[in-house]
Structure 1
Protein backbone atom coordinates (compact mmCIF):
# COMPACT_ATOMS: atom_id res chain seq x y z
CA UNK A 1 0.00 0.00 0.00
CA UNK A 2 1.42 3.38 -1.02
CA UNK A 3 1.63 6.38 1.29
CA UNK A 4 -0.96 8.22 -0.79
CA UNK A 5 -3.34 5.26 -0.53
CA UNK A 6 -2.79 5.11 3.21
CA UNK A 7 -3.56 8.84 3.51
CA UNK A 8 -6.74 8.39 1.51
CA UNK A 9 -7.78 5.52 3.79
CA UNK A 10 -7.27 7.61 6.92
CA UNK A 11 -9.28 10.55 5.58
CA UNK A 12 -12.04 8.18 4.47
CA UNK A 13 -12.26 6.86 8.03
CA UNK A 14 -12.51 10.40 9.38
CA UNK A 15 -15.41 11.15 7.03
CA UNK A 16 -17.14 7.94 8.12
CA UNK A 17 -16.71 8.65 11.86
CA UNK A 18 -19.98 8.24 13.69
CA UNK A 19 -21.78 6.59 10.77
CA UNK A 20 -20.84 2.95 11.35
CA UNK A 21 -21.00 2.22 15.07
CA UNK A 22 -24.53 1.48 16.27
CA UNK A 23 -23.85 1.29 20.00
CA UNK A 24 -23.46 4.80 21.40
CA UNK A 25 -22.66 4.15 25.03
CA UNK A 26 -22.98 7.32 27.08
CA UNK A 27 -23.19 5.79 30.55
CA UNK A 28 -21.18 7.55 33.25
CA UNK A 29 -18.25 5.72 34.84
CA UNK A 30 -18.92 5.22 38.55
CA UNK A 31 -15.90 3.08 39.50
CA UNK A 32 -12.76 1.52 38.07
CA UNK A 33 -10.77 -1.65 38.76
CA UNK A 34 -7.13 -2.15 37.81
CA UNK A 35 -5.43 -5.42 36.91
CA UNK A 36 -1.87 -6.61 36.33
CA UNK A 37 -2.15 -8.48 33.05
CA UNK A 38 0.21 -11.29 31.99
CA UNK A 39 0.24 -13.32 28.79
CA UNK A 40 2.82 -15.94 27.83
CA UNK A 41 2.47 -15.28 24.12
CA UNK A 42 5.47 -17.43 23.11
CA UNK A 43 5.64 -20.90 24.66
CA UNK A 44 9.39 -21.09 23.98
CA UNK A 45 10.02 -17.93 26.05
CA UNK A 46 7.74 -18.22 29.07
CA UNK A 47 10.16 -16.30 31.29
CA UNK A 48 9.37 -13.06 29.45
CA UNK A 49 5.58 -12.77 29.10
CA UNK A 50 3.71 -9.72 27.86
CA UNK A 51 2.70 -7.62 30.88
CA UNK A 52 0.63 -4.48 31.25
CA UNK A 53 -1.53 -2.58 33.70
CA UNK A 54 -5.10 -2.66 32.45
CA UNK A 55 -8.30 -1.08 33.72
CA UNK A 56 -12.00 -1.80 33.50
CA UNK A 57 -14.21 1.27 33.85
CA UNK A 58 -17.54 0.34 35.39
CA UNK A 59 -21.02 1.68 34.80
CA UNK A 60 -24.36 0.33 35.99
CA UNK A 61 -25.15 -1.40 32.68
CA UNK A 62 -21.85 -1.53 30.79
CA UNK A 63 -18.06 -1.63 31.10
CA UNK A 64 -14.97 -0.48 29.20
CA UNK A 65 -11.73 -2.50 29.31
CA UNK A 66 -8.43 -1.05 28.03
CA UNK A 67 -4.75 -0.55 28.77
CA UNK A 68 -3.82 1.98 31.45
CA UNK A 69 -0.28 2.43 30.12
CA UNK A 70 -0.94 5.48 27.95
CA UNK A 71 -2.68 7.19 30.88
CA UNK A 72 0.35 6.52 33.11
CA UNK A 73 2.59 7.98 30.38
CA UNK A 74 0.44 11.11 30.19
CA UNK A 75 0.67 11.46 33.98
CA UNK A 76 4.48 11.28 33.74
CA UNK A 77 4.59 13.92 31.03
CA UNK A 78 2.29 16.30 32.90
CA UNK A 79 4.17 15.93 36.19
CA UNK A 80 7.65 16.38 34.71
CA UNK A 81 6.85 19.27 32.39
CA UNK A 82 5.07 21.10 35.23
CA UNK A 83 8.09 20.85 37.54
CA UNK A 84 9.87 24.14 38.28
CA UNK A 85 13.25 22.68 37.32
CA UNK A 86 12.08 21.26 33.98
CA UNK A 87 14.75 22.14 31.40
CA UNK A 88 13.13 20.73 28.27
CA UNK A 89 14.71 17.29 28.60
CA UNK A 90 12.08 14.67 29.30
CA UNK A 91 13.02 11.08 30.18
CA UNK A 92 10.04 8.76 30.33
CA UNK A 93 10.12 5.44 32.16
CA UNK A 94 8.42 2.95 29.86
CA UNK A 95 7.82 -0.79 30.20
CA UNK A 96 9.74 -2.90 27.70
CA UNK A 97 6.57 -4.94 27.23
CA UNK A 98 4.13 -3.56 24.63
CA UNK A 99 0.74 -2.28 25.82
CA UNK A 100 -2.53 -4.10 25.31
CA UNK A 101 -3.92 -2.91 21.98
CA UNK A 102 -7.43 -4.35 22.29
CA UNK A 103 -10.21 -2.75 24.31
CA UNK A 104 -13.84 -3.79 24.76
CA UNK A 105 -17.10 -2.12 25.65
CA UNK A 106 -19.64 -4.68 26.88
CA UNK A 107 -23.33 -4.04 27.46
CA UNK A 108 -25.12 -7.27 28.48
CA UNK A 109 -28.60 -5.72 28.59
CA UNK A 110 -28.27 -4.78 24.92
CA UNK A 111 -26.19 -7.88 24.11
CA UNK A 112 -23.66 -5.60 22.46
CA UNK A 113 -19.87 -5.56 22.29
CA UNK A 114 -17.65 -2.87 20.78
CA UNK A 115 -14.09 -3.93 19.92
CA UNK A 116 -11.49 -1.13 20.03
CA UNK A 117 -8.31 -2.10 18.17
CA UNK A 118 -5.01 -0.22 18.27
CA UNK A 119 -2.80 -0.52 15.19
CA UNK A 120 0.67 0.59 16.30
CA UNK A 121 -0.34 1.80 19.78
CA UNK A 122 -3.49 2.31 21.88
CA UNK A 123 -3.77 5.87 20.55
CA UNK A 124 -4.21 5.13 16.82
CA UNK A 125 -7.27 2.97 17.33
CA UNK A 126 -10.45 2.03 15.49
CA UNK A 127 -13.74 0.63 16.75
CA UNK A 128 -16.26 -1.81 15.32
CA UNK A 129 -19.15 -3.93 16.52
CA UNK A 130 -18.19 -7.45 17.60
CA UNK A 131 -20.26 -10.51 18.54
CA UNK A 132 -21.60 -10.47 22.08
CA UNK A 133 -20.02 -13.51 23.79
CA UNK A 134 -21.25 -14.35 27.33
CA UNK A 135 -19.59 -17.03 29.43
CA UNK A 136 -21.29 -20.02 31.05
CA UNK A 137 -19.88 -19.79 34.58
CA UNK A 138 -20.03 -22.54 37.20
CA UNK A 139 -19.96 -20.96 40.68
CA UNK A 140 -18.44 -22.99 43.53
CA UNK A 141 -18.54 -22.62 47.32
CA UNK A 142 -14.78 -22.04 47.60
CA UNK A 143 -13.81 -18.60 48.94
CA UNK A 144 -10.74 -16.48 49.63
CA UNK A 145 -9.93 -12.84 50.34
CA UNK A 146 -8.41 -10.54 47.71
CA UNK A 147 -7.67 -6.88 48.42
CA UNK A 148 -9.78 -7.05 51.58
CA UNK A 149 -12.83 -8.36 49.72
CA UNK A 150 -14.34 -11.80 50.30
CA UNK A 151 -14.32 -13.58 46.95
CA UNK A 152 -15.97 -16.69 45.57
CA UNK A 153 -14.57 -19.04 42.93
CA UNK A 154 -16.12 -19.61 39.50
CA UNK A 155 -14.93 -21.47 36.41
CA UNK A 156 -15.76 -21.51 32.73
CA UNK A 157 -14.54 -22.68 29.32
CA UNK A 158 -14.04 -19.78 26.93
CA UNK A 159 -12.15 -19.41 23.65
CA UNK A 160 -10.26 -22.67 24.14
CA UNK A 161 -9.12 -22.00 27.69
CA UNK A 162 -10.38 -23.04 31.12
CA UNK A 163 -10.62 -19.95 33.33
CA UNK A 164 -10.82 -19.69 37.10
CA UNK A 165 -12.18 -16.39 38.37
CA UNK A 166 -12.54 -14.93 41.84
CA UNK A 167 -15.42 -12.47 42.19
CA UNK A 168 -16.89 -10.51 45.08
CA UNK A 169 -20.52 -9.65 45.70
CA UNK A 170 -19.28 -6.85 47.98
CA UNK A 171 -18.76 -4.88 44.75
CA UNK A 172 -22.05 -5.39 42.87
CA UNK A 173 -20.79 -5.10 39.29
CA UNK A 174 -21.20 -7.98 36.84
CA UNK A 175 -17.99 -7.21 34.95
CA UNK A 176 -14.29 -8.04 34.92
CA UNK A 177 -11.23 -7.81 32.67
CA UNK A 178 -11.15 -8.35 28.90
CA UNK A 179 -14.38 -10.03 27.69
CA UNK A 180 -15.05 -11.81 30.98
CA UNK A 181 -18.32 -10.87 32.70
CA UNK A 182 -21.66 -12.22 33.85
CA UNK A 183 -20.98 -13.22 37.46
CA UNK A 184 -23.05 -11.86 40.38
CA UNK A 185 -20.17 -9.64 41.49
CA UNK A 186 -17.00 -7.95 40.28
CA UNK A 187 -14.17 -10.22 39.07
CA UNK A 188 -11.01 -9.35 41.01
CA UNK A 189 -8.70 -12.06 39.70
CA UNK A 190 -8.76 -14.59 36.88
CA UNK A 191 -6.32 -16.97 35.21
CA UNK A 192 -6.41 -19.88 32.79
CA UNK A 193 -5.62 -23.46 33.79
CA UNK A 194 -2.04 -23.29 32.45
CA UNK A 195 -1.32 -19.86 33.98
CA UNK A 196 -0.52 -18.56 30.51
CA UNK A 197 -3.07 -15.74 30.74
CA UNK A 198 -3.97 -13.88 33.94
CA UNK A 199 -5.37 -10.67 35.36
CA UNK A 200 -4.47 -10.03 39.00
CA UNK A 201 -6.20 -7.45 41.21
CA UNK A 202 -4.28 -4.15 41.39
CA UNK A 203 -6.77 -1.77 42.97
CA UNK A 204 -10.37 -0.52 42.98
CA UNK A 205 -11.74 3.03 43.10
CA UNK A 206 -15.41 3.71 43.75
CA UNK A 207 -14.76 7.29 42.65
CA UNK A 208 -13.03 7.18 39.25
CA UNK A 209 -9.82 9.14 38.76
CA UNK A 210 -11.44 11.10 35.92
CA UNK A 211 -14.96 12.02 36.96
CA UNK A 212 -15.87 13.06 33.39
CA UNK A 213 -15.31 9.57 31.99
CA UNK A 214 -18.09 7.77 30.16
CA UNK A 215 -18.39 4.22 28.87
CA UNK A 216 -17.48 5.05 25.30
CA UNK A 217 -14.44 4.98 23.00
CA UNK A 218 -11.99 7.84 23.37
CA UNK A 219 -12.54 10.80 21.05
CA UNK A 220 -9.44 9.78 19.08
CA UNK A 221 -10.93 6.37 18.22
CA UNK A 222 -12.37 6.22 14.69
CA UNK A 223 -15.33 3.93 13.88
CA UNK A 224 -14.54 1.63 10.96
CA UNK A 225 -15.54 -1.59 9.29
CA UNK A 226 -13.76 -4.72 10.53
CA UNK A 227 -12.24 -5.49 7.15
CA UNK A 228 -10.76 -1.99 6.90
CA UNK A 229 -9.15 -2.36 10.33
CA UNK A 230 -7.55 -5.62 9.19
CA UNK A 231 -6.17 -3.84 6.10
CA UNK A 232 -4.57 -1.21 8.32
CA UNK A 233 -3.03 -3.88 10.54
CA UNK A 234 -1.57 -5.58 7.48
CA UNK A 235 -0.26 -2.27 6.12
CA UNK A 236 1.49 -1.56 9.41
CA UNK A 237 3.00 -5.05 9.53
CA UNK A 238 4.15 -4.92 5.89
CA UNK A 239 5.62 -1.40 5.96
CA UNK A 240 5.78 0.32 9.37
CA UNK A 241 7.61 3.39 8.00
CA UNK A 242 4.92 4.10 5.40
CA UNK A 243 2.25 3.60 8.04
CA UNK A 244 3.91 6.07 10.43
CA UNK A 245 4.23 8.65 7.63
CA UNK A 246 0.54 8.27 6.90
CA UNK A 247 -0.23 8.52 10.60
CA UNK A 248 1.71 11.79 10.79
CA UNK A 249 -0.19 13.15 7.79
CA UNK A 250 -3.48 12.31 9.50
CA UNK A 251 -2.57 14.39 12.56
CA UNK A 252 -2.78 11.40 14.92
CA UNK A 253 0.95 10.84 15.49
CA UNK A 254 1.25 13.15 18.53
CA UNK A 255 -1.57 12.14 20.90
CA UNK A 256 -0.05 13.94 23.91
CA UNK A 257 0.32 17.22 21.96
CA UNK A 258 4.01 17.65 22.75
CA UNK A 259 5.86 20.60 21.20
CA UNK A 260 8.98 18.78 20.02
CA UNK A 261 10.71 22.09 19.27
CA UNK A 262 10.75 22.71 23.02
CA UNK A 263 10.89 19.21 24.47
CA UNK A 264 13.57 16.56 23.95
CA UNK A 265 12.25 13.10 24.84
CA UNK A 266 14.26 10.00 25.73
CA UNK A 267 13.06 6.66 27.06
CA UNK A 268 14.20 4.51 29.97
CA UNK A 269 12.76 1.07 29.26
CA UNK A 270 12.00 -1.02 32.34
CA UNK A 271 11.93 -4.84 32.57
CA UNK A 272 12.52 -7.56 30.01
CA UNK A 273 11.22 -7.33 26.47
CA UNK A 274 8.88 -10.22 25.59
CA UNK A 275 9.03 -12.21 22.39
CA UNK A 276 7.72 -10.47 19.28
CA UNK A 277 6.43 -13.81 18.01
CA UNK A 278 3.07 -15.17 19.21
CA UNK A 279 2.39 -18.89 18.96
CA UNK A 280 0.02 -18.88 21.94
CA UNK A 281 -2.74 -16.28 21.48
CA UNK A 282 -5.24 -15.53 24.25
CA UNK A 283 -8.04 -16.93 22.09
CA UNK A 284 -7.14 -20.47 21.06
CA UNK A 285 -10.47 -21.06 19.32
CA UNK A 286 -12.89 -18.74 17.48
Structure 2
Protein backbone atom coordinates (compact mmCIF):
# COMPACT_ATOMS: atom_id res chain seq x y z
CA UNK A 1 0.00 0.00 0.00
CA UNK A 2 1.41 3.40 -0.93
CA UNK A 3 1.55 6.23 1.64
CA UNK A 4 -1.49 8.09 0.29
CA UNK A 5 -3.60 4.93 0.33
CA UNK A 6 -2.46 4.22 3.90
CA UNK A 7 -3.47 7.71 5.04
CA UNK A 8 -6.85 7.34 3.35
CA UNK A 9 -7.40 3.99 5.06
CA UNK A 10 -6.54 5.50 8.43
CA UNK A 11 -8.88 8.43 7.89
CA UNK A 12 -11.66 5.98 7.04
CA UNK A 13 -10.94 4.09 10.28
CA UNK A 14 -11.14 7.31 12.28
CA UNK A 15 -14.51 8.19 10.75
CA UNK A 16 -15.99 4.81 11.70
CA UNK A 17 -15.40 4.50 15.40
CA UNK A 18 -12.01 6.10 16.12
CA UNK A 19 -10.54 3.10 17.91
CA UNK A 20 -6.79 3.14 17.39
CA UNK A 21 -3.52 2.32 19.14
CA UNK A 22 -0.54 4.58 18.54
CA UNK A 23 2.82 3.05 19.44
CA UNK A 24 5.63 5.39 20.50
CA UNK A 25 9.31 4.80 21.06
CA UNK A 26 10.30 6.77 24.14
CA UNK A 27 13.90 7.65 25.02
CA UNK A 28 14.57 9.30 28.36
CA UNK A 29 17.48 10.17 30.63
CA UNK A 30 16.99 9.76 34.38
CA UNK A 31 20.55 10.26 35.65
CA UNK A 32 22.33 13.50 34.72
CA UNK A 33 25.57 12.10 36.10
CA UNK A 34 25.51 9.74 33.09
CA UNK A 35 24.42 12.07 30.26
CA UNK A 36 24.87 9.50 27.50
CA UNK A 37 22.79 6.81 29.19
CA UNK A 38 19.20 6.68 27.94
CA UNK A 39 16.37 4.26 28.67
CA UNK A 40 14.33 3.20 25.65
CA UNK A 41 10.82 1.81 26.05
CA UNK A 42 7.76 1.14 23.93
CA UNK A 43 4.66 3.01 25.09
CA UNK A 44 1.16 2.89 23.69
CA UNK A 45 -1.60 5.48 23.32
CA UNK A 46 -4.96 3.68 23.10
CA UNK A 47 -7.61 6.05 21.73
CA UNK A 48 -11.32 5.22 21.72
CA UNK A 49 -13.62 8.03 20.67
CA UNK A 50 -12.70 10.91 23.01
CA UNK A 51 -10.94 8.92 25.74
CA UNK A 52 -7.40 7.59 25.81
CA UNK A 53 -4.85 5.81 27.99
CA UNK A 54 -1.10 6.22 27.53
CA UNK A 55 1.16 3.68 29.27
CA UNK A 56 4.16 1.43 28.90
CA UNK A 57 3.54 -1.73 26.89
CA UNK A 58 4.07 -3.88 30.01
CA UNK A 59 1.43 -1.87 31.90
CA UNK A 60 -0.98 -2.44 29.01
CA UNK A 61 -0.34 -6.19 29.16
CA UNK A 62 -0.90 -6.13 32.93
CA UNK A 63 -4.21 -4.32 32.49
CA UNK A 64 -5.29 -6.82 29.86
CA UNK A 65 -4.41 -9.70 32.20
CA UNK A 66 -6.36 -8.13 35.05
CA UNK A 67 -9.45 -7.65 32.89
CA UNK A 68 -9.23 -11.33 31.93
CA UNK A 69 -8.87 -12.49 35.57
CA UNK A 70 -5.12 -12.98 35.29
CA UNK A 71 -2.34 -12.03 37.69
CA UNK A 72 -0.80 -8.76 36.48
CA UNK A 73 2.71 -7.52 37.22
CA UNK A 74 2.37 -4.23 39.12
CA UNK A 75 4.78 -1.31 39.42
CA UNK A 76 6.43 -0.32 42.68
CA UNK A 77 7.66 3.05 43.83
CA UNK A 78 6.40 6.47 42.79
CA UNK A 79 9.02 7.85 40.41
CA UNK A 80 9.12 7.64 36.62
CA UNK A 81 5.68 6.24 35.87
CA UNK A 82 4.10 7.23 32.55
CA UNK A 83 0.51 6.06 32.96
CA UNK A 84 -1.88 8.81 31.78
CA UNK A 85 -5.66 8.82 31.33
CA UNK A 86 -7.38 11.51 29.27
CA UNK A 87 -11.04 12.46 28.91
CA UNK A 88 -10.76 14.89 26.02
CA UNK A 89 -14.48 15.75 25.96
CA UNK A 90 -14.27 17.11 29.50
CA UNK A 91 -10.65 18.34 29.30
CA UNK A 92 -9.52 16.03 32.11
CA UNK A 93 -6.01 14.57 32.34
CA UNK A 94 -4.91 12.30 35.18
CA UNK A 95 -1.71 10.50 36.08
CA UNK A 96 -2.08 6.99 37.52
CA UNK A 97 0.54 5.93 40.06
CA UNK A 98 0.73 2.26 41.01
CA UNK A 99 2.74 1.11 44.01
CA UNK A 100 2.21 -2.59 44.64
CA UNK A 101 -1.40 -3.19 45.64
CA UNK A 102 -2.20 0.54 45.85
CA UNK A 103 -3.29 2.69 42.92
CA UNK A 104 -3.52 6.51 43.01
CA UNK A 105 -5.09 9.11 40.72
CA UNK A 106 -3.24 12.42 40.41
CA UNK A 107 -5.13 15.09 38.40
CA UNK A 108 -2.96 17.14 36.05
CA UNK A 109 -4.17 20.70 36.50
CA UNK A 110 -1.29 22.55 34.85
CA UNK A 111 -2.58 24.30 31.72
CA UNK A 112 -0.76 23.41 28.52
CA UNK A 113 -0.91 26.34 26.12
CA UNK A 114 0.41 25.75 22.61
CA UNK A 115 2.02 28.22 20.23
CA UNK A 116 1.60 26.85 16.72
CA UNK A 117 4.36 27.78 14.28
CA UNK A 118 4.08 28.10 10.52
CA UNK A 119 7.09 25.76 10.21
CA UNK A 120 6.30 22.43 8.56
CA UNK A 121 8.19 19.29 7.62
CA UNK A 122 7.66 15.70 6.58
CA UNK A 123 8.12 13.02 9.26
CA UNK A 124 7.98 9.65 7.54
CA UNK A 125 4.78 9.74 5.49
CA UNK A 126 3.15 12.42 7.61
CA UNK A 127 2.92 16.14 6.87
CA UNK A 128 3.74 17.73 10.21
CA UNK A 129 3.63 21.18 11.75
CA UNK A 130 5.58 22.59 14.66
CA UNK A 131 4.14 23.70 18.02
CA UNK A 132 5.82 24.66 21.29
CA UNK A 133 4.68 24.72 24.90
CA UNK A 134 5.89 24.53 28.50
CA UNK A 135 5.01 21.80 30.97
CA UNK A 136 6.62 20.73 34.23
CA UNK A 137 9.24 23.52 34.03
CA UNK A 138 10.39 22.15 30.68
CA UNK A 139 10.11 23.65 27.21
CA UNK A 140 8.71 21.25 24.62
CA UNK A 141 8.74 21.16 20.82
CA UNK A 142 6.06 19.03 19.18
CA UNK A 143 5.30 18.06 15.60
CA UNK A 144 1.65 17.25 14.93
CA UNK A 145 -0.03 15.99 11.79
CA UNK A 146 -3.40 16.91 10.30
CA UNK A 147 -3.11 13.65 8.36
CA UNK A 148 -4.31 11.96 11.58
CA UNK A 149 -7.25 14.13 12.70
CA UNK A 150 -7.37 13.55 16.44
CA UNK A 151 -6.19 16.06 19.04
CA UNK A 152 -4.20 13.69 21.25
CA UNK A 153 -0.60 12.63 21.79
CA UNK A 154 1.82 10.88 24.15
CA UNK A 155 1.84 11.40 27.91
CA UNK A 156 -0.16 14.52 28.98
CA UNK A 157 0.17 16.27 25.62
CA UNK A 158 -2.97 16.90 23.55
CA UNK A 159 -5.25 19.64 22.19
CA UNK A 160 -3.49 20.26 18.88
CA UNK A 161 -5.34 20.02 15.52
CA UNK A 162 -3.85 16.60 14.76
CA UNK A 163 -2.00 13.73 16.41
CA UNK A 164 1.38 14.54 17.95
CA UNK A 165 3.91 12.56 15.91
CA UNK A 166 6.99 13.66 17.86
CA UNK A 167 7.71 15.72 20.96
CA UNK A 168 11.00 16.51 22.74
CA UNK A 169 11.97 18.72 25.65
CA UNK A 170 14.65 21.38 25.11
CA UNK A 171 17.16 19.57 27.33
CA UNK A 172 16.88 16.39 25.28
CA UNK A 173 15.92 14.37 28.37
CA UNK A 174 12.62 13.06 26.97
CA UNK A 175 11.83 12.11 23.37
CA UNK A 176 8.54 10.58 22.18
CA UNK A 177 8.34 9.39 18.56
CA UNK A 178 5.44 7.63 16.82
CA UNK A 179 6.60 4.39 15.20
CA UNK A 180 3.43 2.43 14.45
CA UNK A 181 -0.37 2.64 14.23
CA UNK A 182 -2.77 -0.26 14.82
CA UNK A 183 -6.52 -0.71 14.95
CA UNK A 184 -7.76 -1.23 18.51
CA UNK A 185 -11.03 -2.28 20.11
CA UNK A 186 -10.41 -1.90 23.86
CA UNK A 187 -8.81 0.60 26.23
CA UNK A 188 -8.15 -2.17 28.80
CA UNK A 189 -9.23 0.31 31.45
CA UNK A 190 -8.38 -1.84 34.47
CA UNK A 191 -7.34 0.78 37.04
CA UNK A 192 -10.78 2.17 37.76
CA UNK A 193 -10.88 2.75 41.54
CA UNK A 194 -7.70 4.66 42.39
CA UNK A 195 -7.27 6.81 45.49
CA UNK A 196 -7.38 10.53 44.72
CA UNK A 197 -4.22 12.46 45.66
CA UNK A 198 -2.58 15.80 44.83
CA UNK A 199 1.11 16.64 44.31
CA UNK A 200 1.67 17.30 48.02
CA UNK A 201 0.31 13.88 48.92
CA UNK A 202 2.38 12.36 46.11
CA UNK A 203 5.50 13.90 47.66
CA UNK A 204 4.59 12.48 51.09
CA UNK A 205 3.87 8.98 49.77
CA UNK A 206 7.07 8.90 47.72
CA UNK A 207 9.17 9.86 50.76
CA UNK A 208 7.47 7.21 52.91
CA UNK A 209 8.25 4.61 50.24
CA UNK A 210 11.84 5.85 50.04
CA UNK A 211 12.35 5.26 53.78
CA UNK A 212 11.62 1.53 53.30
CA UNK A 213 11.34 0.51 49.61
CA UNK A 214 11.00 -3.16 50.53
CA UNK A 215 8.33 -2.86 53.21
CA UNK A 216 6.00 -5.36 51.50
CA UNK A 217 8.76 -7.97 51.22
CA UNK A 218 9.72 -7.38 54.84
CA UNK A 219 6.12 -7.92 55.94
CA UNK A 220 5.88 -11.18 53.99
CA UNK A 221 9.07 -12.40 55.66
CA UNK A 222 7.62 -11.64 59.10
CA UNK A 223 4.48 -13.60 58.24
CA UNK A 224 6.36 -16.58 56.82
CA UNK A 225 7.68 -19.41 59.01
CA UNK A 226 10.80 -19.83 56.93
CA UNK A 227 12.25 -17.92 54.00
CA UNK A 228 15.06 -19.26 51.84
CA UNK A 229 16.61 -17.03 49.17
CA UNK A 230 18.42 -18.61 46.23
CA UNK A 231 20.39 -17.21 43.29
CA UNK A 232 19.90 -18.18 39.62
CA UNK A 233 21.99 -21.32 40.13
CA UNK A 234 19.93 -22.46 43.13
CA UNK A 235 22.54 -21.60 45.74
CA UNK A 236 21.25 -20.32 49.09
CA UNK A 237 22.14 -16.67 49.63
CA UNK A 238 21.92 -14.36 52.60
CA UNK A 239 18.90 -12.07 52.67
CA UNK A 240 19.90 -8.57 53.77
CA UNK A 241 16.89 -6.24 53.78
CA UNK A 242 18.99 -3.28 54.95
CA UNK A 243 21.35 -3.61 51.99
CA UNK A 244 18.40 -3.95 49.61
CA UNK A 245 16.88 -0.75 50.99
CA UNK A 246 20.20 1.09 50.78
CA UNK A 247 20.71 0.04 47.15
CA UNK A 248 17.15 0.98 46.21
CA UNK A 249 17.45 4.37 47.91
CA UNK A 250 20.64 5.12 46.04
CA UNK A 251 18.94 4.18 42.78
CA UNK A 252 15.98 6.48 43.54
CA UNK A 253 18.30 9.42 44.29
CA UNK A 254 20.32 8.91 41.11
CA UNK A 255 17.33 8.49 38.81
CA UNK A 256 15.65 11.70 39.90
CA UNK A 257 15.04 13.53 36.62
CA UNK A 258 11.23 13.36 36.24
CA UNK A 259 9.23 14.94 33.42
CA UNK A 260 7.66 17.27 35.98
CA UNK A 261 10.77 19.09 37.19
CA UNK A 262 8.56 21.41 39.24
CA UNK A 263 7.56 18.37 41.31
CA UNK A 264 10.98 16.75 41.65
CA UNK A 265 11.20 15.18 45.10
CA UNK A 266 14.06 16.22 47.38
CA UNK A 267 15.23 13.05 49.08
CA UNK A 268 17.58 13.09 52.09
TM-score, scaled relative to structure 1: 0.61
CA distance, structure 2, for counterparts of residue 283 and residue 55 of structure 1: 20
CA distance, structure 2, for counterparts of residue 141 and residue 238 of structure 1: 50
Contact 2:44 2:56 in 1 (8 A): yes
Give the equivalent residue in structure 1 for 2:95.
115
Higher helix fraction: Structure 1 or Structure 2? Answer: 2
Contact 2:52 2:187 in 1 (8 A): no
CA distance, structure 2, for counterparts of residue 213 and residue 73 of structure 1: 12
**Pairing partner for 2:41 from 52, 55, 77:** 52
Contact 1:118 1:126 in 2 (8 A): yes
Give the equivalent residue in structure 2 for 1:130.
107
CA distance, structure 1, for counterparts of residue 93 and residue 129 of structure 2: 26
* Displacement of 1:183: 0.3
Secondary structure of 1:285's aligned partner: helix
Give the equivalent residue in structure 2 for 1:213.
187
Give the equivalent residue in structure 1 for 2:197.
226
1:105 aligns with 2:85: yes
Q: Which has the higher contact order (CA 8 A, sep 6+)?
A: 1
CA distance, structure 2, for counterparts of residue 233 and residue 247 of structure 1: 21
- Evaluate the alpha carbon distance shift between residue 136 and residue 163 of structure 1 in structure 2; reply closer, same or farther with a 3 A threshold: same
- Evaluate the alpha carbon distance shift between residue 31 and residue 125 of structure 1 in structure 2; reply closer, same or farther with a 3 A threshold: farther
Contact 1:41 1:49 in 2 (8 A): yes
1:190 aligns with 2:161: no
Which ranges of structure 2 fall in alignment gaps of 5 or more residues? Answer: 1-16, 65-78, 222-231, 233-250, 264-268
CA distance, structure 2, for counterparts of residue 63 and residue 247 of structure 1: 36
CA distance, structure 1, for counterparts of residue 62 and residue 92 of structure 2: 31
Deviations 1:74-96 (A, max 9, x none): 99xxxxxxxxxxxxxxxxxxxxx
Secondary structure of 1:240's aligned partner: coil
Secondary structure of 1:109's aligned partner: helix
Give the equivalent residue in structure 2 for 1:42.
31
CA distance, structure 1, for counterparts of residue 90 and residue 164 of structure 2: 21
Give the equivalent residue in structure 2 for 1:5.
none
**Pairing partner for 2:214 from 226, 234, 241:** 241
Aligned length: 205
Give the equivalent residue in structure 1 for 2:21.
32
CA distance, structure 2, for counterparts of residue 241 and residue 284 of structure 1: 26
* Displacement of 1:280: 2.9
Secondary structure of 2:217's aligned partner: helix
Which ranges of structure 1 fall in alignment gaps of 5 or more residues? Answer: 1-27, 76-98, 249-263, 265-274
TM-score, scaled relative to structure 2: 0.64
- Evaluate the alpha carbon distance shift between residue 100 and residue 54 of structure 1 in structure 2; reply closer, same or farther with a 3 A threshold: farther
Deviations 1:51-86 (A, max 9, x none): 3211111122222111113456999xxxxxxxxxxx
1:257-276 pair list within 5 angstroms: 276=252
CA distance, structure 1, for counterparts of residue 30 and residue 160 of structure 2: 27
Secondary structure of 2:128's aligned partner: strand
Pairwise CA RMSD of aligned residues?
A: 3.4
CA distance, structure 2, for counterparts of residue 105 and residue 174 of structure 1: 14
